[in-house]
Structure 1
Amino acid sequence: MEDGGEENPNEWPAVSKVVHDCQIYYQNKFPITTTLAWLAYGLRGKELANREFTFINAWGKWYRFQFIKHPSDLMNALKILSPIKIDLGPVYKIPRTRTDTRKTAAANFRNRDEKRAVKHELVFDIDIDVYDDVRSCCQGPQICQECWKFMAIACEIMERTLREDLQLKHILWTFSGRRGIHAWVCDESVRSSSSNQRLKILNAIQKVKSPKDWFNVNFSTDLPHPIKRALNIIKPHFVDIVEKQGLLTTHIDIFMKLLPGAIRTAVEIIFKSCTTPLQKWKVFVAFIQYLNTKAKEKCFLVEMFMLYTCYPKIDGGVSMQINHLLGAPFSVHAKTEKIGIAFDPKKVWHFDLAKVPTVHSLTVQLSDRTPEDNMMVLFYQNAIEVFELFVKEMVVARKRQKAEKIEDQENSTVNSERTQALSITNKTRGSLCLVGRPSTRTPPEEDVRTPGVPKNSAEHAVLELRALRMKFIPKLTTMFPPSKIHPKYRSVNCIKTPTTTPSMIPSIKYSVISEAPPVASPSSSKLATEKIIRLREISRKASLISQVPPVATPSATKLITKKITPPEKISHKT
């Protein structure tokens, strides 16, 4: 969709040249694949499909709410719309259109939650024109290598703060192409943060709302660790900044207003004998050191002035707003025609603004009119390598986090199922009933391994049978109902025999186990065996006597008497 901007026929020749150069650049040099891999975050295009792209053409027309699902879609948009600049917006819950921004639509109000922005990188924008009150080499959006020292110090302080204090890992640094630098924080924990959460992070980094507030901070007796770290970064370069920017000559009025009344009067008198900014700074440092030797409380005016001059000055609106539009890395800046390239924060002090490529320089190189060892071309290639390395490390880390999250979920599921199974087992172990009468005692399975019990003893067999009972009784009860079991297998005495060994256990019916006594000693098993033998012999004798006829001949009586004579080993007992 289009917003603003009108075509001026007088500008057509110059504009047509820029449009032609941008078309060649975006179709041949722009890192489309790497950019889309970065914005997909290893999720196979799920987030990319809901990411807003905004294209701005040479006449200032804006094409908002463009959504890309595939690299070919981006290529087609670049060919059709012929943009100069590409801006990146947030990730929406569902893709939006221009009509969704009209508040008068009732349907939009009902679906407002579904079409809201849910994710965006936490971006820190630092512009050089905010340092106009402490620099004299340039003003406004203009930037030179001397101005870059402020950017380098801000980058180094921010890099240390984000990584060490906030434990953030995936940070992409880019030059905007005109007047500042951008820090794209791509960690998942901050991309989905709300505006209030982003404000808290911003306040934690900035420390004060305005640079002038540094002179109102009460540091008491010592400085906090983040402030000490920032001062250690500033001090090696501050004397050079004072001398090159003329801090205590050009901007002397601003400096004097920041000092307390009594100290201001003394400093004005001291400065009358100094001519250069460096002399004034050395005298001022010596004067504050002298005051610290006499005063009870330490004075931190030297440190406050360093922080006021060089501490990062961040554009809070860009960082807080989740739906903010910002120029994409390697996009062309419409006003300077320079490429917004990525750079390594470890090499920020070696960043050369003169080597930042323009879209025309890259177009000329593609037409073979510039050698491949051209400084701008090499600078651009190094920036592409930095960007590709960042995206590769971030995607790998993102996939690793996703795999670890899935593994943790699986482990928690297994642990919960295991805990649930153990709780069910503990409940059913005490409530299981045996076939026949209920058991009054349910020994645990560990009783089988009770020390001191002989392995082949009857007691060992009983304990092992009870362990098997807990495992197999539910299945056997279903397979063999009690009504179908022969009565002789329900005899109590079968389990008391001392000849019962673990090798015989599989052949014993499960109904016998239900009537097993708690403990079977060897002596009781022996008495039970003798009783069984006596009962069997008496039963056999009774059955033979019942078969004798009423009248018996002597021969028959003799034969029967001979037949029923009991064995010698039990004759004395009968």
Structure 2
Amino acid sequence: MVQQADAPLPHDASVADKDLLFYYDKLFPFGELSKWLTYKNSPHLPESEANDPLFFAKREVCFTCRKPGGLDNADEFFLRWQSFRTVEEMKEKLKDMSSLVCFKFDFGAVYSVPVSEKDSSHSAFRPEQKELVFDIDMNDYDDIRTCCTDKRVCQKCWTFLEVAMSLLDAALREDFGFENILWVFSGRRGVHCWVCDSSARLLPSDGRAQLCEYLNICTGTDQQVKKVTLRGGRVQPPSVDRAFCLAYRQFQRLLEEQDFFASNARALPASGDFPDSAAPQFHYQKLLNYLPDLSDSSSSHSRPWKGNAKNERRDGRGGGVFAAAKPHMSAWVEKRLREKSGFSSEELFNELCAVSGCPRPRDFSGRVEDVKQIPSFVKEIVLAYSYPRLDINVSKDIGHLLKSPFCIHHGTGRVCVPLEVAPERTRGASASSRFDPARVPTLTLLRRQFDDPSRAHLPPHQRTSLAPYLDFFRDKFLYTLLKNVAEETKYVKKLLEGVDARVKPEVCF
């Protein structure tokens, strides 16, 4: 999916009531949204083992609203526990701006009874399913990104999220077999992931928590020296080595764009400043903390390892190459600082690769043999600076609310567009093929494009720069999802026709 060239102007961030009404009426893909969130359950067909006419009515919808005419959202408030029999009814509610303007809406779980019966159902009201969701926010990278802080996001920042999406997407597909995964730009500085397979939707909260614990490699806190701690030795679980392999292919770009290990690169807090008494470390100091130390005999990294002859001569300690990594790199850093020549991230990391006997990111082939030759402390460093930083609480709660795709972000005016994730993308990707958050259409831009007389001959959904995102959502994500749902429904019907009538339908999902 290639973004259109139209670049939003700075004043495009406003979200006016009249433009929202236009968007809900003319451009928002309510039809496609209905096909997605109903999973082929039709309110117009009778109830059966394969159809629940109240399926969408059981889904919680939460509106974020303001009074008509408001622009700064200072008076915004939430309306939870809303429900509608159809998506079309929800559309009419959104278009009715006489008393409230709903500029954002979130979806929660599908409950055992319609949400409108929540208060009268008491204990019978319980969550039964919801998409498995993930939320990755750029704020969580403030301790390692050097280009921006706080709410600011640039193309260099986005590389972190590109890598994170490719790693998480691969894990969800290869380790858990999920197929129907939707990635969505949050509208400002993050991404959301919706896993829509029936097996994911029916996971209980404890199952979601266990899955998240499996995926969550970055477990260190700000008070800990290391964000990532792997088991010793060069051989890691296949999931870790796969994540490292994907990350290492793109690590060269991070080294060049962020240059976080450079001699003058410090980690800044979100505010952009810090008291003199609590000045943060340089990133190269953080890197040195990951290296095994001669004095740390308990470290699994410091086990003797027979490197090649070149590395043995470089280190001067025979087989103790790994144990000598920290003193060697510390001396190398001190020498460059003393000579006032400084160093770049690439220079520092390439020196680490040389002393560790592993390929540089630029030369990495991705072969299994090469991955196995890379020591665990190098993998820890790479994953600490590239692995997805997950908000586990978002994912493990089956009732957690998440913003709908194609909503307008009230702070930026940008559309929360779906994203196409290409796990196989490497450092060779051209600039034109990369997603740029600054080129995502805004509400006012869409209005200008739609009203442009030169585009009047086009179908409504093709008049604006939203078109490629709509096409991707409908033709790729939704097509595959509905095909899979149809196959599951067919299988259930076959079971119920007598192949094995004792099997309950829910076991197939």
Instruction: Specify if TM > 0.5.
Output: yes
Q: Which amino acid aligns with 1:190?
A: A
User: Contact (CA 8 Å) 1:215, 1:301: kept in 2 or not?
Assistant: no
Cα contact 1:65–1:98 (8 A) shared by 2: no
Extract unaligned runs of 5+ from structure 1: 1-13, 101-107, 291-296, 417-574
Structure 1 residues 18 and 98, CA gap change in structure 2 (3 angstroms) = farther
Partner residue of 1:333? 409
Alpha-carbon distance, 1:150 to partner: 0.9
Determine if contact 1:220/1:298 at 8 Å carries over to the other structure. Answer: no
Residues in 2 aligned to 1:142 and 1:342: alpha-carbon distance in whole angstroms: 20
1:358 aligns with 2:420: no
Task: Report the Cα distance in structure 1 between the residues aligned to 2:20 and 2:411, rounded to whole angstroms.
Answer: 13
**Aligned position for 2:185:** 175
1:73 CA drift (Å): 1.0
TM-superposed deviation, 1:370 = 7.9
| Structure 1 residues 15 and 359: CA distance shift in structure 2, 3 A | closer
User: Given the alignment of the two structures, is residue 256 of structure 1 paired with residue 340 of structure 2, yes or no?
Assistant: no
1:381 corresponds in structure 2 to 467
Q: Which residue of 2 aligns with 1:55?
A: 63
Which stretch of the first structure deviates more once superposed, 74-83 or 171-180? 74-83
Using the TM superposition, give the Cα deviation of residue 392 of structure 1 relative to its aligned residue in structure 2, in angstroms: 2.7
Please give the residue correspondences for 1:87-486 in structure 2 after superposition, counting only pairs within 5 Å.
Answer: 87-96=106-115, 100=119, 111-207=121-217, 209-210=219-220, 215-249=228-262, 250=265, 251-262=283-294, 263-274=325-336, 275-277=342-344, 278-289=346-357, 299-346=375-422, 350-368=434-452, 379-389=465-475, 390-412=477-499
Q: Distance in 1 between matches of 2:250 and 2:15?
A: 42
Residue 17 of structure 2 aligns with which residue? 19
Distance 1:133 1:377, change over 3 A: farther
Match of 1:68 in 2: 84
Quick one: which amino acid aligns to residue 53 of structure 1?
V
- Shift of residue 358, structure 1, vs aligned partner: 0.7
Deviation at 1:298, TM superposition (A): 7.8
CA–CA distance in structure 2, aligned partners of residues 327 and 415 of structure 1 = 39
CA distance in structure 1 between the aligned counterparts of 2:502 and 2:385, rounded to whole angstroms: 57
The answer to whether the 8 Å contact 2:127/2:399 transfers is: yes
Query: Which residue identity is paired with 2:343?
Result: T
Deviation at 1:281, TM superposition (A): 1.4
Q: How big is the shift at 1:218?
A: 1.5
Query: How many Å separate the matches in 1 of 2:463 and 2:196?
Result: 28
Aligned residue in 1 for 2:27: 29
1:71 CA drift (Å) = 3.8
Shift of 1:99: 8.3
| Partner Cα distance (1:43, 1:156) in 2 | 32
- Partner residue in 2 for 1:441: none
**1:79 maps to 2:95:** yes
Three-state SS of the structure 2 residue aligned to 1:346 is coil
| Higher alpha-carbon deviation: 227-236 or 252-261 | 252-261
Query: What CA distance in whole angstroms lies between the structure 2 residues aligned with 1:323 and 1:71?
Result: 20
**Conservation of the 8 A alpha-carbon contact between 2:230 and 2:376:** no
CA shift for structure 1 position 15: 11
> Partner amino acid for 2:350?
K
**Cα 1:239/1:413, change in 2 over 3 Å:** closer
Change (3 A) 1:323 1:136: same
My pick for the range that moved more, 237-246 or 36-45, is 237-246
- Structure 2, unmatched stretches of 5+, are 1-11, 44-53, 67-74, 266-282, 295-324, 337-341, 359-372, 426-432, 504-509
Contact 1:364 1:370 in 2 (8 A): no
Aligned residues: 386
Q: Distance in 2 between matches of 1:272 and 1:52?
A: 58
In angstroms, what is the RMSD of aligned CA positions? 2.9
**Per-residue deviation, residues 380-438 of structure 1 (Å, max 9, x unmatched):** 2111011112223212221221111121232335899xxxxxxxxxxxxxxxxxxxxxx
Query: How far did 1:239 drift?
Result: 2.1
Relative contact order, CA 8 A, sep 6+: which one is greater? 2
Deviation at 1:362, TM superposition (A): 0.8
Residue type at the aligned position of 1:314 = L
Task: State the secondary structure of the residue aligned to 1:118.
Answer: strand
Q: Pick the structure with more helix per residue.
A: 1
Report SS of the residue matched to 2:102: coil
CA distance, structure 1, for counterparts of residue 149 and residue 439 of structure 2: 21
More displaced stretch, 84-93 vs 211-220? 211-220
